[in-house]
């Protein structure tokens, strides 16, 4: 099970990857989560990445590729993985192909989450996230049982720095310019499946499982 979840910011990649990774017992390799953890811990990677993330820009390819190479070499990735938020540029996709080639494996499927821009804005500006366990909620569409408290670990939920409207618009533009071109690449390779990313979370979960099975 080696999957890429591809789609614009707020498309629901993290929400679906977290559940499916648990269900399939493979790691969810989420570059955004890894970077946010590094920022929280004040590591050199975190200090380098923060300025890019806060303004809605992509972190440089060489930094991200190094991070992924290290992560995929870990034993728990041998059985498979869900890449959530990587690759996001053509050089990252090239690097992924090289890395997988070196490991003697290939991608099974790239799942593209198709969501309209107005819906992405609604989702991102209402998103709340748990800095302790990375769970994600939405004030209207997916509220926690207790206001501002994580259902999973009880920590206080926060709004991401980059979920303010001006930064969200910048991230959507960056996606259109740098990430959307990957769709054509994976379509031509026959590995792309488009899943309607709007609707009930459970229904999208089922649609992804069907796409992977089949
Ligand atoms: P990252 O954390 O990867 O952000 P993103 O791709 O912009 O994706 P999001 O986390 O915003 O959205 P998502 O699709 O996971 O949606 P979610 O499930 O949370 O990256 C952040 C930054 O890190 C980047 O800007 C960049 O600086 C850097 N970075 C990361 N990877 C990089 C890379 N490879 N290269 C360079 N830089 C990189 O859902 C969103 C909301 O909608 C939630 O509130 C959720 O509850 C709700 N929701 C989910 N599903 C539904 C549904 N079906 N109906 C209604 N609401 C829903």
The reply to whether 49 falls in a domain is: no
Atom 29 of ligand 1, nearest CA residue: 32
Whether the pLDDT of residue 214 is over 90: the answer is no
Closest listed residue to residue 65, CA positions, set 40, 42, 97: 97
How close is the Cα of 131 to the center of ligand 1, in Å?
A: 14
The tens digit of pLDDT for each residue in 35-94 reads 999 999 999 999 999 999 999 999 999 999 999 999 999 999 999 999 999 999 999 999
How close is the Cα of 198 to the center of ligand 1, in Å?
A: 15
The reply to whether 41 falls in a domain is: no
The reply to whether 63 falls in a domain is: no
pLDDT at 63: 96
Largest Cα–Cα distance in the chain?
47
Residue 129 CB–ligand 1 contact under 6 Å = no
The reply to whether 147 falls in a domain is: no
How close is the Cα of 32 to the center of ligand 1, in Å?
A: 8
* Active-site residue identified among 13, 18, 109, 123: 13
The reply to whether 188 falls in a domain is: yes
Residue 8 CB–ligand 1 contact under 6 Å = no
Cα distance between the two ends of the chain = 12
Atom of ligand 1 nearest to the CA of 197: 53
This prediction's pTM: 0.95
Domain count, the chain: 1
Element (H, E) at 143: none
Residue 28 CB–ligand 1 contact under 6 Å = no
The reply to whether 96 falls in a domain is: yes
CATH number at residue 189: 3.40.50.300
* Active-site residue identified among 18, 36, 123, 127: 127
How close is the Cα of 78 to the center of ligand 1, in Å?
A: 25
Q: Is 71 a catalytic residue?
A: no
The tens digit of pLDDT for each residue in 145-193 reads 999 999 999 999 999 989 999 999 999 999 999 999 999 999 999 999 9
The reply to whether 139 falls in a domain is: no
Could you give the CA distance from residue 175 to residue 155 in angstroms, rounded to a whole number? 31
Neighbour-count burial of 22, counting CB atoms closer than 10 A to its CB (0-12 exposed, 13-18 middle, 19+ buried): exposed
Which residue range forms the structural domain that includes residue 111?
2-27+74-116+165-213
């Amino acid at each position: 099970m080696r999957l890429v979840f591809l789609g614009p910011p707020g498309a629901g990649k993290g929400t679906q990857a977290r559940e499916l990774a648990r269900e399939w017992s493979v790691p969810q390799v989420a570059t955004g989560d890894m970077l946010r953890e590094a920022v929280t811990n004040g590591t050199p990677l975190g200090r380098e990445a923060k300025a890019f993330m806060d303004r809605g820009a992509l972190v440089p390819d060489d930094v991200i590729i190094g991070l992924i190479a290290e992560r995929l070499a870990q034993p728990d990735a041998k059985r498979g993985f869900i890449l959530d938020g990587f690759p996001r540029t053509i050089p990252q996709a090239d690097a992924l192909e090289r890395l997988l080639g070196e490991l003697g494996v290939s991608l099974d499927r790239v799942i593209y989450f198709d969501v309209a821009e107005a819906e992405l804005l609604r989702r991102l500006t209402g998103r709340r996230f748990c800095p302790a366990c990375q769970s994600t909620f939405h004030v209207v569409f997916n509220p926690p049982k207790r206001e501002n408290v994580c259902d999973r670990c009880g920590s206080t939920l926060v709004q991401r720095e980059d979920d303010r409207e001006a930064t969200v618009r910048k991230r959507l533009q960056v996606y259109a310019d740098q990430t959307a071109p990957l769709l054509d690449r994976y379509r031509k390779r026959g590995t792309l499946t488009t899943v309607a990313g709007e609707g009930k979370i459970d229904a999208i979960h089922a649609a992804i499982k069907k796409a992977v099975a089949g």
